[in-house]
Amino acid sequence: MNGITIVDAFGGGVVMRRRALGLSIIAVSCLLTTAVSAPDAVAAPAVTGSALPPELVDAVARDLALTPQQFLDRADAARRLAEFAAAFGSESVTGTWLDADGQPVISVADGPSYTAVSDAASANGFTTAATGIEIPESVRSTVDPLLELLPFDLADTAGPIRASSYLGGDSFLAGTPAGLGLRCSLGFNAVDAVRGPVNITAGHCDPATTGSAASTGAYPMYGSLIGSKFGSFYRTNQTHNDYALIEIDDANVGGFEGNAVRVPGSAPLHVTGTVDPVVGAPVCKSGSRTGFSCGTILSTGQQIAMGAAVMERSFSTSICALRGDSGGPIVSGTLAVGIASASNVGDQPSCEIATVFSMLQGQRPELFATPINEVLAENPGLVIRTS
108-119 residue pLDDT tens? 877 778 888 888
pLDDT at 47: 55
Q: Which residue(s) pair with 305 in the sheet?
A: 15, 310
Three-state DSSP state, 259: coil
The mean pLDDT of the chain is: 78
Q: Provide the pLDDT for residue 15.
A: 36
CA distance 176 to 313: 31
Q: CA distances (Å), 14 to each of 163, 181, 184, 210, 270, in order?
A: 37, 19, 17, 14, 32
Return d(Cα 242, Cα 302) in angstroms, integer: 13
Q: What per-residue confidence (pLDDT) applies to 51? A: 67
pLDDT for residue 243: 94
DSSP 33-59: -S---PPPPPPPPP--GGGS-HHHHHH
Contact in structure between 117 and 92 (CB atoms under 8 Å): yes
Q: What is the pLDDT of residue 177?
A: 67
pTM: 0.71
Closest C-alpha among 188, 324, 325 to residue 256: 188
3-state class (DSSP) for residue 292:
strand
Strand pairing category for 171-175 and 217-222: antiparallel
Specify the pLDDT at position 37: 37
How would you class 148 by CB atoms within 10 Å of its CB: exposed for 0-12, middle for 13-18, buried for 19 or more?
exposed
Which stretches in the chain have pLDDT values below 70? Answer: 1-51, 130-157, 177-179, 209-215, 307-308
DSSP H or E run through 346: none
In sequence order, what are the residues at sequence separation of 6 or more whose Cβ sits closer than 8 angstroms to the Cβ of residue 278?
Answer: 78, 79, 81, 82, 96, 97, 98, 142, 297, 300
Question: CB 65: neighbour CB atoms within 10 A?
Answer: 8
Model pLDDT for residues 252-298, shown as the tens digit of each residue:
999 999 999 999 878 899 999 999 999 999 999 999 999 999 999 99
